[in-house]
Structure 1
Amino acid sequence: MTGHSIKWCQLFSGRHNAAQYLLQNVPPSTAKEDKIVLGFHDETGLLVAICDLLRNYPSTGEWWIGLLMIDPKYRSAGLGTQILQDVVNMARAEEATALWVAPLEQNPNAQRFWERHGFVEQRTTHTTTRSGRTNTVVVRKKMTL
């Protein structure tokens, strides 16, 4: 990751080692080889979006989108849709059967984005961040790839 990328991750999470955590953290039952972190750059090379993926999670053949973070200056211009289409194409190429995501309940823009792209609510649950903050997330699943 570039210095800018690392600072962006630190700013996002409030932790010094956030970039390392993003690149290396996987659930206990997941192989490190199933972790994919994609960076998207503008024409100047500046990182403007990050997408964190897990193959074969929560089940074999399914993919989990752990994070899709886009610089606010690049939102509402189709970049999120383009990234999601790239992810769908990658998952489809590996014969994935579903995509999962769990956006924060208090983020209505994210909720609308995922709904608009065919992700259907499965359940609501609570998560705790590494900093101890509790969030409510809406777990969504997209079956048709």
Structure 2
Amino acid sequence: MVAASIVLAPLHPESDLRAVEAVYRRASDYLALESGLTPDAAARAFFEERPPTGDDAPLKFGVADDTGGLVAIGDLAFGYPEPTDACLGLLLLVPTVRGEGLGQAILGEVKRLASARGALRLLLGVLDANERARAFWERQGFKLNRTSGPHAFGKRHHLVHRLELPLGGNA
């Protein structure tokens, strides 16, 4: 399902709440692991959550398949935790497109956007229980920055590994 160019389409709660809820419904494996929330509660939280600091509201984005249906959602913040950082708060793919190169393609576009905004590094958090995701990010060149927690995620508590990737030729 990897297109030649990936479009990170901005998502808005007024028009896209149900589509985001459908992604969470299809990715129920992640939702059960991460928070135990219902898909509708997770979709509302997706639009409400923001980092404690940062330049602007985060970019809530979606990636559609060739039929126009969302198959991935994400959350990219700039200026958090440091002014020259970008933080990928979430990248969630529905199971049917995992392992096909879409995550890597989305990451390429995220890195391009972050670099264009002057970010020197890209950070993200991976739940300790999500070993498959951590392995993916480490294959992309991310390194452990620190581990913290446990933190509350809905009905669950997790240790979180903060991973970082230098941008702008600093790799």
Question: What is the TM-score normalised by the length of structure 2?
Answer: 0.76
Structure 1 unaligned spans of 5+:
none
C-alpha contact 2:121 2:167 (8 A) present in aligned 1: yes
Runs of 4+ in 1 over 6 A off after TM superposition: none
- Aligned pair partner of 2:118 in 72, 88, 95: 95
Q: Does 1:74 align with 2:89?
A: no
Aligned to 1:21: 45
Q: Say whether the 8 Å CA contact 2:147–2:162 is kept in structure 1.
A: yes
Does 2:153 correspond to 1:138?
A: no
Quote how far apart the aligned CAs of 1:2 are.
5.4
Give 3-state SS (helix, strand or coil) of 2:44's partner.
helix
* RMSD over equivalenced CA pairs, Å: 1.8
Deviations 1:83-112 (A, max 9, x none): 000000000111111110111122221111
Runs of at least 5 residues in structure 2 that lack an aligned partner in the other structure: 1-15
Separation (CA, whole Å) in 2 of partners of 1:139 and 1:108: 13
Report Cα offsets for 1:63-82 as digits up to 9, x if no partner: 11111100010011000000
Q: Secondary structure at the match of 2:83?
A: coil
Amino acid at match of 2:102: L
In 2, the alpha carbon distance for the partners of 1:116 and 1:141 equals 12
Asked whether the 8 Å contact 1:61–1:96 carries over to 2, the reply is: yes
State the partner residue of 1:3: 18
Corresponding residue number in structure 2 for 1:35: 58
Give 1:108's match in structure 2, choosing from 131, 136, 146.
131
* Total equivalences in the alignment: 143
Partner in structure 2 of residue 117 of structure 1: 140
Task: Please tell me whether residue 54 in structure 1 is matched to residue 69 in structure 2.
Answer: no
TM-score by length of 1: 0.88
Alpha-carbon distance between aligned partners in 2 of 1:19 and 1:134, rounded to the nearest angstrom: 19
Contact 2:54 2:83 in 1 (8 A): no
